[in-house]
Amino acid sequence: MVYCLELPPLIKDICEKLNAGGFKAYVVGGALRDMILDRKNFDYDITTDALPHDIASLFPDAIPYGNFGTMLVLRKKSDRLIDSGNQEFQKNEGLEPGFKNHTDNLIKIEITPFRDDAPGRKPYYTFGGTIYTDLARRDFTINSIALDPVSGEFIDPFGGVKDIKAKIIRCTGSTQRIWEDPLRAMRAARFQAQLGFSIEPSTLYTLKARAPELADISRERIRDELSKLVTGDYAFDGLVTLVITGLMDYVIPELMEGMGMTHFNKPVDVLEHNLAACRVIRNTLPLRLTALLHDVAKPRTAFHGEKGLEFPKHHVASANLAEKILARLRFDKKTIKKVALLIKYHMFHYTQESPISDARRLISKVGWENIYDLIDIRVADRLASGFEMAIGKGLKKLLADLEMLKTEHSDYRVKDLAVDGTDISRELGIPPGKKIGDILNYLLEKVIEDPNINNRETLLKIARNNL
């Protein structure tokens, strides 16, 4: 079969170099799928009958990558070959050692030998086989396709192109592909979230049948799949698949506590409200995670009030629980801190009558770097709650007040005061300790109410008078 796909010239160059060395070379998997779908992709997988040492001899800059004989080559989009062993380059380009990430200025090419062992993820493997045996080992038909960019031969033994055009996720060969690596169950949901495809019934059944095996998968691998899933254009669909197949019980089981727990003032239960908020919020990983977990502890705070179930201080409980969940999934500290902060303050109160000092106070709590993200959370919460207007009158006033506050050039933190702890200690004769901090926080509250008093003499006078 010949299929016309326009690959970057550098990919053809690499395959031609492998051919010249006496080896076969094929572009495989996701890059081809995304090209058929007209999706951008700067990661390319090449499979070959060359062994790792053969690849290294042809591409001296290639380095081992991962656990299965893969060699990594990086090129800039300008087609210049990068010395991937250069640590200074890694530093300048923002790459971590091992190349776990890369910048938008780079194309990543993974060159992997054919494998000739039983399918599955395992520490021991053997090289060999053909392009056909290699494709038979892959997870889904949409990824089990290959192209020889030199001859133009397109290889599709499992009907991958047909499934791509029909927007279907189907196991390659048989549903045994899921048994070989349980993480593939999450990958099916992740591809659904990224591509908007439906999952073929037999494959969907197998996700549920093999869900308990996800318990044996490392938290880091689950985290990586979850991150890709929630930042997909169809994240809601992928999340629903995790729920209905039981996979969510092994990813974030705490979310499942909200299934069937209704609100008195929302059209959906607690679980669906969290999923819906994740669907509508702006697409960054911290915001998607925040929306997904913003009410995760509601079931643990629920009690029956006059109007129905109420959830007092659920935002505080949810922030604490979200922090534990993300730590368990091995998310980085910066992401965990931001998500917990946004959840903690997402129930802020702001109306048309709110004084501008309330906006200063909110900035003092979350910082300018988070204030608009906090508003995004409120907007997503409203939309997921059934409100027709994304931005109500209170949020409109807050946005207007923030524009005015930008002229004050302050973070409304203790560091912005015209006095510091040394001033208080020296002028008031108070030894260093908790009392100094209490006084500074008191002065900050006064400055938030009226920034005009933020000068040294006035603040020291207030401190003396209220000592």
Q: Distance between CA 463 and CA 420 in Å, rounded?
A: 12
| Closest CA relative to residue 379, chosen from 459, 267, 277 | 277
Residue after which a domain boundary falls, among 198, 217, 240:
240
Kindly tell me if the per-residue pLDDT of 209 is higher than 70.
yes
pLDDT-derived band at 237, boundaries 50, 70, 90: very high
Q: Which residues of 77-104 are buried (b: 16+ CB within 10 A; e: fewer)?
A: eeeebbebeeeeebeebebeeebeebee
Would you say residue 227 lies in a domain? yes
Q: Are residues 134 and 173 in the same domain?
A: no
Q: Looking at residue 5, what is its pLDDT? A: 77
Q: Are residues 142 and 24 in the same domain?
A: yes
Q: Are residues 176 and 35 in the same domain?
A: no
Scan for tokens 């003499």, then name that residue: 457
Average pLDDT over residues 168-180: 94
Would you say residue 331 lies in a domain? yes
Kindly tell me if the per-residue pLDDT of 59 is higher than 50.
yes
Q: Are residues 311 and 363 in the same domain?
A: yes
Scan for tokens 């996720």, then name that residue: 169
Q: Are residues 23 and 162 in the same domain?
A: yes
Would you say residue 335 lies in a domain? yes
Q: Looking at residue 447, what is its pLDDT? A: 97
Residue after which a domain boundary falls, among 408, 435, 456:
408
Q: Distance between CA 467 and CA 443 in Å, rounded?
A: 11
Q: Are residues 290 and 232 in the same domain?
A: no
Domain interval for residue 89: 9-166
Q: Are residues 303 and 330 in the same domain?
A: yes
Q: Distance between CA 94 and CA 109 in Å, rounded?
A: 18
Would you say residue 116 lies in a domain? yes
- Retrieve residue 333's tokens: 């500290």
Cβ neighbours around 265 below 10 Å, total = 11
* CATH of residue 352: 1.10.3210
Q: Looking at residue 99, what is its pLDDT? A: 37
Q: Per the structure, how many domains does the chain have?
A: 4
Q: Are residues 398 and 451 in the same domain?
A: no
Q: Dihedral of the CA atoms 171, 172, 176, 182 (nearest 10)? A: -60
Q: Distance between CA 365 and CA 237 in Å, rounded?
A: 34
* CATH of residue 135: 3.30.460.10
Cβ neighbours around 354 below 10 Å, total = 17
Kindly tell me if the per-residue pLDDT of 132 is higher than 60.
yes
pLDDT-derived band at 128, boundaries 50, 70, 90: confident
* pLDDT digit string, tens, across residues 149-161: 999 999 999 999 9
Kindly tell me if the per-residue pLDDT of 84 is higher than 60.
no
Q: Please tell me which of 322-326, 427-431, 462-466 the model is most confident about, judged by mean pLDDT.
A: 322-326
Q: Are residues 162 and 268 in the same domain?
A: no
Q: Are residues 71 and 107 in the same domain?
A: yes
Query: Cα separations (Å) of 336 from 54, 225, 286, 323, 325?
Result: 43, 17, 8, 6, 9
Q: Are residues 109 and 63 in the same domain?
A: yes
Kindly tell me if the per-residue pLDDT of 215 is higher than 70.
yes
Kindly tell me if the per-residue pLDDT of 34 is higher than 70.
yes
| Closest CA relative to residue 74, chosen from 104, 40, 33 | 104
Q: Which residues pair with 81 in a beta bridge?
A: 75
Would you say residue 245 lies in a domain? no
Q: For residue 166, is it left (φ>0), alpha (ψ between -120 and 50) or beta?
A: alpha
Would you say residue 4 lies in a domain? no
Average pLDDT over residues 64-78: 81
Would you say residue 247 lies in a domain? no
pLDDT > 90 in the chain, percent: 79
Would you say residue 246 lies in a domain? no
φ, ψ at 182 (rounded to 5°): -55, -25
* CATH of residue 228: 1.10.110.30
Residue after which a domain boundary falls, among 133, 166, 199:
166
- pTM for the complete prediction? 0.89
Average pLDDT over residues 34-40: 91
Kindly tell me if the per-residue pLDDT of 212 is higher than 50.
yes
Kindly tell me if the per-residue pLDDT of 77 is higher than 90.
no
Sign, Cα dihedral of 73, 74, 75, 80:
negative
**Helix, strand, or coil here: 297?**
coil
Average pLDDT over residues 393-411: 97
pLDDT-derived band at 98, boundaries 50, 70, 90: very low
Q: Are residues 38 and 179 in the same domain?
A: no
| Closest CA relative to residue 233, chosen from 145, 319, 167 | 167
Q: Looking at residue 117, what is its pLDDT? A: 58
